[in-house]
């Protein structure tokens, strides 16, 4: 595998979304949400290419106006069945075809997590060390302990999901956290070999709640609007 000493940002942004239509370019505090992610990537000064992968004409227009390159994906890769892994592999394959090698490292930034900062991108990148840490992702804390989950069956009956853990003291439970869906740094060689974002030598970078909102439903949009407006006043 030939590797080029380049670092690229990949921003997946398809046109279709069910629960929050057009969520990759919905307006937040007067700007398309995609614009915040592209601008944060530009301001980090870490990337040789900032690539938006989309099939959508309107997203293409927004991405180019924000300063990103647009690499068109197929309609198949824009379907509900396509995974983020599939989209990233498509961009890496195209990069290899265009430049004769794969980029050494890449960062996947989700457009719908626009509250992350340039410093978050830089600080999470600093954790990436080949052979010691080949994968980095942002994480957030659960609002309440997931060990307290109750399983609901079809008859409406409840039972503890993990009874062997649920009744332990909090300090005696494993510390569980959640993928924040914001920033993913990957060593390209390791990603292509392990075929997952959750590879070996994975480290986490904590994102606080006010920077961890990911647009998925309309209530997320209201919360992001609040935090983005508050940030603009600081």
CB 162 within 8 A of CB 149: yes
Provide the pLDDT for residue 130.
Answer: 84
Position 119 in a domain: yes
Kindly give the residue spans of alpha helices, DSSP state H, lying in the chain: 33-44, 57-66, 84-99, 118-125, 163-166, 188-194, 218-233
Provide the pLDDT for residue 136.
Answer: 98
Kindly give the residue spans of alpha helices, DSSP state H, lying in 100-160: 118-125
Positions of the chain with pLDDT under 70? none
Position 47 in a domain: yes
Position 42 in a domain: yes
The span from the CA of 17 to the CA of 78, in Å, is: 10
Provide the pLDDT for residue 68.
Answer: 98
Backbone angles phi, psi at 5, to 5 degrees: -75, 70
Structural domain total, the chain: 1
Provide the pLDDT for residue 184.
Answer: 98
Find the CATH number of the domain harbouring 51.
3.90.550.10
Position 167 in a domain: no
Q: What range does the domain containing 78 cover?
A: 3-143+177-233
Position 161 in a domain: no
Position 17 in a domain: yes
Provide the pLDDT for residue 232.
Answer: 81
Position 159 in a domain: no
Position 150 in a domain: no
Provide the pLDDT for residue 17.
Answer: 83
Q: Is 61 helix (H, G, I), strand (E, B) or coil?
A: helix
The span from the CA of 100 to the CA of 147, in Å, is: 48
Provide the pLDDT for residue 233.
Answer: 80
Q: How many Å separate Cα 174 from the centre of its chain? A: 25
Beta bridge partners of 31: 28
CB 102 within 8 A of CB 95: yes
């Amino acid at each position: 595998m030939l590797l080029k000493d380049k670092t690229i940002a990949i921003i997946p942004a398809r046109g279709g979304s069910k629960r929050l239509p057009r969520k990759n370019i919905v307006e937040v505090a007067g700007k398309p949400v995609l614009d915040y992610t592209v601008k944060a990537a530009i301001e980090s000064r870490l990337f040789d290419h900032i690539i938006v992968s989309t099939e959508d004409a309107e997203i293409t227009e927004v991405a180019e106006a924000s300063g990103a390159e647009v690499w068109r994906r197929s309609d198949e890769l824009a379907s509900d069945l396509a995974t983020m892994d599939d989209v990233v592999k498509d961009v890496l394959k195209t990069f290899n075809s265009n430049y004769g090698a794969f980029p050494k490292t890449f960062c996947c930034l989700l457009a719908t997590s626009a509250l992350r900062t340039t410093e978050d991108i830089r600080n999470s990148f600093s954790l990436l060390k080949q052979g010691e840490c080949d994968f980095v992702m942002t994480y957030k804390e659960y609002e309440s302990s997931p060990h307290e989950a109750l399983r609901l069956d079809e008859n409406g009956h409840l039972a503890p999901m993990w009874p062997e853990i649920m009744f332990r003291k909090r300090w005696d439970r494993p510390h569980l956290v959640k993928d924040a869906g914001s920033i993913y740094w990957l060593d390209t060689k390791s990603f292509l070999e392990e075929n997952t974002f959750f590879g070996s030598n994975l480290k986490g970078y904590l994102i606080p709640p006010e920077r961890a909102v990911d647009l998925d439903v309309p209530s997320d949009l209201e919360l992001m609007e609040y935090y983005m407006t508050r940030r603009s006043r600081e």
